[in-house]
Amino acid sequence: MALDVKSFETIIPSRFLSFTIPNPALPTHLLRVAVLDNPVQLNESPQVAALFVPQNREPDWIFSTESGHLQLLSSSPGISRLILIGSNPISGSDSSPLTYHKRDSAQYVKSLENSLKPLFFALSPKVSVQDGIFDVPILDYEDNLICSVVLERCVGVFVCEMLVEDIEIESDSELREFRRRLRFKRMPNLVQTEIRIVPQKVFELDRVKIGGEVKFRPDTKVLVHSYLIPMVASLSLIGSCIEDRLRKGLKPKALCLGVGGGALLSFLRTQLGFEVFGVEMDEEVLRVARQYFGLEDCEIHVSVGDAIEYVEKLAGRDRVLVSGEDNGDFYLNHANGFDAKFDVIMVDLDSCDARNGVIAPPLEFVKKHILSAARSVLSDFGIFVMNVIPPTRLFYDTLIHEFQEIFHELYEIDVGNGENFVLIAKVSPVTSPLGKSQDFSEEPHLVPLEGGPARKLPELKELKNKSGVLYIGRIPHGFYEEEMKAYFSQFGTIKRLRIARNKKVGLFVTGKSKHFGFMEFDDSEVAEVVAECMHNYLLFEHLLQVHVIPQEHVHPKLWKGFNYRYNPLNRLQTERKQHNKERTLDEHRRLVARIMKQDQKRRKNIEAAGLDYECPEFRKSAFAPCTSSVDAYSLYPARVFCQEEKEAREDCSARVYCHLEW
C-alpha cells in the first residue's frame, strides 16, 4: 500500500506508522522507519527529532515496538514527533536478538544522516516547514550495555511477553560487571529485575564472555537496583526492635508486594534472616524467578494473586482472629506460625500501561482504605516502605497526604536518579533502645548508600481539592472537541479532553455524543474558576453543568483512549451503499410485490373515498402493462431481466425494472 506523504503534515496524537525504504548505504538492504506522534499535544511549534537505532539492536523491543518507541519519546521532552531509523529486522523475528555486541557506528550513522535529509523534511509537519524549521536534530541513544545474550523468551498470563538476558555493562572499576535482567515487552525500557551474576567456576575474567561456554549463577548477596538499597536501609528505623526479636529467637517477618525476579525477597532472607512472604500476579514470572534469579522456596512463601486483594484479605483475617472466628478458607494457611503481624511491608509495584508512562505504585493502590488495611497488618513498631515513581507533583502530594492521615510518621528518601523516591511510614513514633521517643526532624538519621539522606516529611495542609478534572454536562449539539478546546482554552492550558460517545457499531449506533464529557486543566485553581464561571451558562439553549471532580473520584481509566479522534459516520454513503447493493432474483421479486401491494391499497383507498381519479398504472419497462397482481419477474425468463439490469444500469434507471407511466 502506497504511503501518502501528506498524512505527515499534521501532528495526530499517538499515531504510529512504520514502513521500509531502500538503504542508501547498502542498496540490497532495507531500512525500517517508524514515526510516532506525542500523545500530549504541545502548545509550542512542533519539534521533530530522529534517532538512529544502534547497529545489531534493531529487533530489541526498545526499538522495534510501539511501547518502546513511546518510552523513548517520553524521555525526550519537547519532542512532538520522534522518527526511528534502523536496519529492517529479519523477517519473522519479533524479539530481541540472541546475542549483541556493541559496535562503533558513528561513521555509518553519519553517512545515513546526509542521505536521509530529504526524508526528514518530508516527515516534518507543515507548520514546522512554514516556520522555517528544516533541520531535524539527531538524538543519541546511550546506555552502559557492552554485550548481551537472551536466555529465554516466554509469555505470562498477565504480563504477556517477557525475556531474561545476561549482559555485561561498563564499570567504573577494573573488574568486569555481569548482570541478569528481566524485562517485559509492554515496557521494554524498564528493567523489572536486575541482579549480579558471577561465573559458576573460577576463571580468569579476561577469558569470560557473555554467551560463551562459561555458566553464570545469581549472586543474591548484593542489590544493584538503585531504589532497592534505600528500601532495605529503611529497616534501620526499627533496627533495635528487629535485633530484640532475633535475640528472642524470633524471625522478623516481611511482606513484599510485587516479586518480579525476587531480588529483594532473596536479600531479606539470605542476608537479614527475615521470614519473607511475597505476592505476584503472574505465575510465569515466579517460574522465571526460581529458574534464573535464585528465588528459593525455603522460608520464602510466595502467593499468586492481586496484591491489593491480598492485603485486604490479610486485614479481614486479622479482624476475624480478633473476634475469635475463623472460616478456614483463607489462602494464607501455608504461612506457618501466622500468629504475629508483619514487621515491614515493602511495595514495589508499577503500572502496566506504557501510554501513561511509568507510574509506581499503580493508581488503584493510592486509596485510603488500602493503606488502612496495610497498617492493620503491621506490628506496633512496623514500617510500610514503598517505591514511588510519581507522574505528577499532584499525584505525589496526594499520596503523601493519604499516608499522613493513616500513619504516625512519614519519611522520604530521594534516590537521586531523578525518578524514584522511597516513602517510609511508621505505625508509631521512632523510639530509642531506652524506650524514649526521638525527634529526627532536625537532622537526618538514616543515610542509605544510594540516594540522599532520609528526611521526615512535614505535615501537609489538608488538600481541599487539587484535582484539575471537570465534568461538563448538557453539552449542546455541535459543541464538540475542537469547539470546546478552542473555547475553554481562554481560561488556561487544557491537558486532556474527552466527550462520552456511543460506540460506532452497525447502522444505528453511530458514535454520536452522549452530551457530557470531561476536561483536565494543568492548574487545579483554573479548573475551579472554570467551574464557577461556566456552571449554568446558557449555550445554544442548554444550561451547561460544570463541576470539579474530587481527585479520589477520578477513575483510573477515565483518560484511556481520550486522544482518539472521532470520525463521524457518512450516513449518505452508508444509505447509498445499502440502496445499490447487489440483489438476488428473490429479493427483486419481493420488492416488486411490495410495490404492487402498496399500489393496490392506494387504489382501494381512493375508490372508498368516492374520488373520481384514474390512477397511473405500473408498467413493465418496454413491455405491455401488467394488470395482474403477479410481478413481472414471473412472466419472463431470468435472462431477459439480467439483460434489462445491464441496460438499466447504463441508463441509470430504476433498480426495480418497472416505473410509473403517466
What is the phi/psi pair of residue 36, to 5°? -130, 130
H helices present in 258-306, as ranges? 263-272, 283-292
- Calpha distance 436→383 (Å, rounded): 18
Per the document, the length of the chain is 662
* The three three-digit cell numbers of residue 66, written as one number: 510501539
Mean pLDDT along residues 596-602: 90
Residue 178 has pLDDT above 80, yes or no: yes
* The three three-digit cell numbers of residue 394, written as one number: 499532584
CATH ID of 469-572, from 3.40.640.10, 3.30.70.330, 1.20.120.430, 2.60.120.620: 3.30.70.330
Beta bridge partners of 499: 517
pLDDT in tens, 439-461: 444 444 454 545 556 677 776 55
Cβ atoms within 10 Å of 97's Cβ, excluding its own: 17
Nearest C-alpha neighbor of 97 from the set 211, 9, 263: 211
Mean pLDDT along residues 228-254: 90
Integer Rg of the chain from CA = 34
> 204: pLDDT confidence band, cut at 50, 70 and 90?
low
- Calpha distance 230→54 (Å, rounded): 33
Residue 317 has pLDDT above 70, yes or no: no
pLDDT in tens, 267-278: 999 999 899 999
> 638: pLDDT confidence band, cut at 50, 70 and 90?
very low
pTM for the structure as a whole: 0.66
Mean pLDDT along residues 154-165: 92
Mean pLDDT along residues 144-171: 91
Please tell us whether the domain made up of 228-456 is placed in CATH 2.120.10.10: no
The dihedral region occupied by 579, where left means phi > 0, alpha psi between -120 and 50, and beta the remainder, is alpha
Residue 200 has pLDDT above 90, yes or no: no
Ranges 358-372, 382-396, 528-542, 631-645: which has the least confidence: 631-645
Residue 115 has pLDDT above 70, yes or no: yes
Residue 656 has pLDDT above 50, yes or no: no
What SS3 class is residue 529? helix
How confident is the model at residue 449, as a pLDDT? 46
How confident is the model at residue 195, as a pLDDT? 94
How confident is the model at residue 636, as a pLDDT? 37
Cα distances from 644 to residues 636, 637, 638, in angstroms, run 11, 11, 10
Name the one residue in this structure whose C-alpha cell is 526499627. 238
Cα distances from 376 to residues 341, 402, 548, 642, in angstroms, run 9, 15, 33, 82
Identify which has the larger pLDDT, 358 or 617. Answer: 358
Give the helix/strand (H/E) hosting 481. helix 481-488
Nearest C-alpha neighbor of 310 from the set 383, 392, 396, 374: 374
Identify which has the larger pLDDT, 410 or 133. Answer: 410
The answer to whether the CB of 297 falls within 8 A of the CB of 266 is no
pLDDT in tens, 377-435: 999 899 999 999 988 887 888 889 889 989 988 999 999 888 899 999 999 875 544 34
How confident is the model at residue 547, as a pLDDT? 92
- Calpha distance 157→184 (Å, rounded): 12
The answer to whether the CB of 489 falls within 8 A of the CB of 526 is no
How confident is the model at residue 471, as a pLDDT? 94
The answer to whether the CB of 405 falls within 8 A of the CB of 212 is no
Domain ranges of the chain: 5-139, 228-456, 469-572, 582-661
Percent of all residues in the chain with a pLDDT value above 90, rounded to a whole number: 28
Mean pLDDT along residues 293-298: 83
How confident is the model at residue 329, as a pLDDT? 39
Mean pLDDT along residues 198-204: 78
- Calpha distance 660→618 (Å, rounded): 5
pLDDT in tens, 525-570: 889 889 988 998 988 888 999 999 988 788 878 887 777 666 776 7
